[in-house]
Amino acid sequence: MSGSVNLKQEQAKLEDLYQSIFPYLLQTEGHLQEVATRGKGMIPEIVEYVVQAGGKRLRPALVVLSAQLGGSQGDDAITVGAAAELIHLSTLVHDDIVDRAVLRHQKPTVAVKFGEEVAILLGDFLYVEGFSLLAGLNDPQLVDLFARTTRSICQGEINQVRRRFQLDLTLSEYLSFIDNKTATLMGASMRGGARLARLSTDQATALGHYGWNLGMAFQIIDDTLDLIGEEEVTGKTLRTDLANGKLTLPLIWLRDRLQPAEKEKFLGWLREPTCENVQGIIAWVNDSGAIKEGLRQASNFAQQAKNALHSFSDSTPKQTLNAIAQYIVTRTR
Residues 92, 94, 98: CA angle, nearest 5 degrees: 110
| 128 vs 267 by CB, closer to its own copies | 128
According to CB under 8 A, which one of 8, 9, 41, 259 is a site residue for its own copies? 41
Which of residues 12, 26, 37, 42 is near its own copies by CB under 8 A?
A: 42
Least separation in angstroms between residue 134's CB and its own copies is 8
Binding residue (CB under 8 A) for its own copies from 136, 256, 287, 316: 136
Nearer to its own copies, 86 or 291 (CB): 86
Q: Which residues does residue 23 pair with via DSSP β-bridges, in sequence order? A: none
- Rounded to the nearest whole angstrom, what is the least distance from the CB of residue 26 to its own copies in the complex? 25
Q: Are residues 243 and 251 in contact, defined by beta-carbon separation less than 8 angstroms?
A: no
Paired with 108 in beta bridges are: 103
Question: What separation in angstroms does the CA of 10 have from each of 61, 93, 129, 202, 317?
Answer: 17, 24, 30, 35, 21
Closer to its own copies at the Cβ: 118 or 282? 118
71 binds its own copies (CB under 8 A): no
By CB under 8 A, tell whether 102 contacts its own copies.
no
Site membership for its own copies, residue 172 (CB under 8 A):
no
DSSP assignment of 163-225 equals TTT-TT--HHHHHHHHIIIIIHHHHHHHHHHHHHTT--HHHHHHHHHHHHHHHHHHHHHHHHH
Contacts of 308 (CB under 8 A, 6+ apart): 206, 207, 209, 210, 213
The site for its own copies (CB under 8 A) is made up of 38-43, 46, 90-91, 94, 97-98, 115, 117-118, 120-125, 127-129, 131-132, 134-140, 143-144, 147-148, 150-151, 153-155, 157-159, 161-162
